[in-house]
Amino acid sequence: MEKNAKIYIAGHRGMVGSAIHRKLVKEGFTNIITRTSAELDLRDQQAVTSFFEENKPDYVFLAAAKVGGIVANNTYRGEFLYENLQIQNNVVHSSHATGVKKLMFLGSSCIYPKMAPQPLKEEYLLTGPLEPTNEPYAIAKIAGIKLCDAYRMQYGCNYISVMPTNLYGYNDNYHPQNSHVLPALIRRFHEAKEGNAESVTIWGTGTPRREFLFADDLADACYYLMQEYDEEGLINIGTGEDISIRDLAYLIKDITGYTGKIDFDESKPDGTPRKLMDVSKLASRGWKYKVELAEGIKLAYADFLDKQSATTVQ
């Protein structure tokens, strides 16, 4: 990417999009185009068409999506499928129509079959049934990958797809009902500390293992791949390392300074036993994550506290 190239980040205010924005600014890019969802509704085909015709970006990072936790995914199944398809279809097609040089589509590790072998290799896509609770979101993301490949095959478009593992970091979602496990635990341990709670109860046995990548490391990988990677299909982005929910809970307990005890409610479900990405394809191209989990959680917790104090001041 040329330093003066027009770069459009779709979803620049989310955790992923904002991390990509920070990375590009740090690398000296000055012609970055952004629009809030109020300024540009990516579900609106005509609005997206007009935006691309007027601005003609050279490069596109498609990080915008309708996202949520397990409850939201399972409750609003129609919206998660329909709206994500709208966003992807509009941005990818308009990119082609206006001659975008390269587009990066960001997916999710939920695209892989529920019972796929671990660690998850790129070739496991479409080899078995999906996790039922977030199937609509996963179907939309799979369609996005295939749309990029179809435009590559038919029109020669240089569109690539990347699949990040579980993410955390600055601008994360800490909503009590629909945040993911790591930010949810940060909030719960913080509130337990503030309220002098004797204990924090966590669902399940604590034995399931999950992989976590700091969002700014993802942005670094995306920047690297935008320069170095030009293949069809998809490429995983992760650490290649995982941690049990039990160990994660004790790590966050220490970082937040909570001094009570942790109870594991074994009557509650554990979920998938393990979810780890195979990152050998990315590693073979010379990229590796930088931020270790404990360091990243400290940074995320500091950001959470900043957001809390800003809300209190308002």
What would the pLDDT profile of 290-305 be if each residue is shown by its tens digit? 999 999 999 999 999 9
Residue-level pLDDT at 76: 86
d(C-alpha 275, C-alpha 255), whole Å:
24
For the sheet with 209-210, list strands across it: 243-244, 209-210, 274-275
- DSSP β-ladder status, 243-244 and 209-210: antiparallel
Consult the annotation and say whether 14 binds a ligand.
Answer: yes
Instruction: Show Cβ contacts of residue 22 under 8 Å, excluding neighbours closer than 6 positions.
Output: 216, 219
For the sheet with 102-106, list strands across it: 32-33, 7-10, 59-62, 102-106, 159-164, 235-237
Kindly report, residue by residue over 24-50, the tens digit of the pLDDT: 999 999 999 999 999 999 999 999 999
Residue-level pLDDT at 312: 61
Residue-level pLDDT at 279: 98
- H or E stretch at 235: strand 235-237
Q: Provide the token pair at 41.
A: 């509704």
CATH 3.40.50.1100 fits 7-168+212-237, yes or no: no
Q: Provide the token pair at 250.
A: 């004790």
Architecture of domain 181-209+242-274+293-313: Alpha-Beta Complex (3.90)
- H or E stretch at 74: helix 70-75
**260 near 176, Cβ under 8 Å?**
no
d(C-alpha 282, C-alpha 271), whole Å:
27
Residue-level pLDDT at 271: 76
**40 near 47, Cβ under 8 Å?**
yes
Q: pTM for this structure? A: 0.94
132 backbone φψ class: left, alpha, beta (φ>0; ψ -120 to 50): alpha
Consult the annotation and say whether 128 binds a ligand.
Answer: no
Say how many C-beta atoms besides its own lie within 10 A of residue 268's C-beta.
Answer: 12
Extract the residue ranges of the chain whose pLDDT is less than 50: none
Consult the annotation and say whether 240 binds a ligand.
Answer: no
Kindly report, residue by residue over 225-238, the tens digit of the pLDDT: 999 999 999 999 99
164-175 burial, b at 16+ Cβ within 10 Å, e below that, comes to bbbbbbbbbbbe
- H or E stretch at 106: strand 102-106
Q: Domain spans of the chain?
A: 7-168+212-237, 181-209+242-274+293-313
Consult the annotation and say whether 163 binds a ligand.
Answer: no
DSSP one-letter string for 265-310: ETTS----SEE-B--HHHHTTT------HHHHHHHHHHHHHHHHHH
Residues involved in catalysis: 137
